[in-house]
Amino acid sequence: MRFKRVLVTGSSRGIGRAIAQRLAQTGWSVAVHYTSTEKEAAQTEKILGSACSGVYRADLSVPSNARKLFDAALADGPIQAIVNNAGVYMPLDFLQSGDAAFSANFHKTFSINFESPLALIRASARHFNENGGGKILNVASRVGFRGEGGAALYASSKAALINLTRSLAVELAPKNIQLFGIAPGWVDTAMSREGMSERFEQIKETIPLGRMATPQDCAATAAFLLSEDAAYLSGVVIDINGASYFH
Kindly report the average pLDDT of the chain as a whole number: 95
- Give the Cβ contact number of residue 63 at 10 Å: 17
Q: Which residues make Cβ contacts (< 8 Å) with residue 72, sequence separation at least 6? A: 56, 58
DSSP-assigned states of every residue in 62-73: STHHHHHHHHHH
Report, as an integer, the average pLDDT of 228-245: 97
pLDDT band at 3 (very low <50, low <70, confident <90, very high): low
Concerning whether 154 is annotated as a catalytic residue, the answer is: yes
Percentage of the chain surpassing pLDDT 70? Answer: 96
Q: Is residue 77 packed enough to be buried (19+ CB in 10 Å), middle (13-18) or exposed (0-12)?
A: exposed
Which residues are registered as beta bridge partners of 84? 138
Percentage of the chain surpassing pLDDT 90? Answer: 90
At what angle are helices 116-130 and 64-74 packed, to 10 degrees? Answer: 40
Catalytic residue among 89, 154, 232, 245: 154
pLDDT band at 201 (very low <50, low <70, confident <90, very high): confident
C-alpha–C-alpha distance, residues 34 and 124, integer Å:
18
Q: Does residue 192 have a pLDDT over 90?
A: no
C-alpha–C-alpha distance, residues 19 and 47, integer Å:
12
Report, as an integer, the average pLDDT of 178-191: 92
pLDDT at 194: 66
Report, as an integer, the average pLDDT of 86-109: 96
What SS3 state is found at 44?
Answer: helix
| Model confidence, pTM | 0.95
Report, as an integer, the average pLDDT of 213-238: 98
Sheet bearing 52-57, strands edge to edge: 52-57, 28-34, 4-8, 81-84, 134-139, 177-184, 237-240
Q: Does residue 2 have a pLDDT over 50?
A: no
C-alpha–C-alpha distance, residues 205 and 94, integer Å:
27
- Give the Cβ contact number of residue 50 at 10 Å: 8
For 98-111, how does the pLDDT look when each residue is reduced to its tens digit (9 = 90+)? 999 999 999 999 99
For 119-173, how does the pLDDT look when each residue is reduced to its tens digit (9 = 90+)? 999 999 999 999 999 999 999 999 999 988 999 999 999 999 999 999 999 999 9
Please report the sign of the dihedral spanned by the C-alpha atoms of residue 241, residue 140, residue 105, residue 189. Answer: positive
Higher pLDDT, 180 or 147: 180
